Amino acid sequence: MTSTRSATEADAAAIARIYNEGIADRLATFETEPRSPDDIAHILKERTGRWPTVVVERDGTVIAWAGASEYRRRPCYAGVAEFSVYVSRADRGAGAGRAAMEALVAACEQRGLYKLVSRVFPENEASRKLLARVGFREVGTYRRHAKLDGEWRDTVIVERLVGEAAD
């Protein structure tokens, strides 16, 4: 059975494992250095009470996570969050990404955030499909936004209004 809940520091190792698979795949992020469970525990602690992280469990095992973080320091953007979503390699394509994003959007709404934004590599069909499915709009494409393994990569900007702003 699949369920979603807020992440706790006890999930740090599972979140790191799933994130590191996504980093290794080179299809999801410009990050190239794997994260340790301690790195993740530190991030979760810093975000507590302000930026939600959710996990998806199947039969008691964490198979996916999604998290929100600060978009910009400027006070006018305090209600805007960046987000990430990662599903364990073995569990992709079975609805866990969608469950994670639906739970994250609900958690962000509950905290009074009004917008989620991110960037997706154009080649990341699974992510683009998932995000369209859960109500994200593709705003446009940043050309040559950064280099990954020495190669320029474009990114597609995505946004979704939540809560009152979405009405």
- In the complex, least distance from residue 92 CB atom to ligand COA, rounded to whole angstroms: 4
The site map against ligand COA for 24-63 (x = CB under 6 A) is -x-xx-----------------------------------
- The residue within the footprint of ligand COA, chosen from 55, 87, 107, 113 (CB under 6 A), is 87
Q: What residues does 159 pair with on adjacent strands?
A: 117, 137
Residue 163's SS3 state is: helix
**Any contact of residue 81 with ligand COA (CB under 6 A)?**
no
Q: Examine residue 155 and tell whether it contacts ligand COA (CB under 6 A).
A: no
Across-strand partners of 147?
152
Report, in this order, helix, strand and coil percent for the chain, each rounded to 5: 35, 35, 30
Nearer to ligand COA, 12 or 23 (CB): 23
Judged by CB under 6 A, the number of residues near ligand COA is 23
Instruction: Provide long-range contacts, Cβ within 8 A and 24+ apart, for 41-44.
Output: 41/9, 41/12, 44/7, 44/8, 44/9, 44/11, 44/12, 44/15
Q: Which residues bind ligand COA (CB under 6 A)?
A: 22, 25, 27-28, 85-87, 92-98, 118, 120, 124-127, 129-130, 133
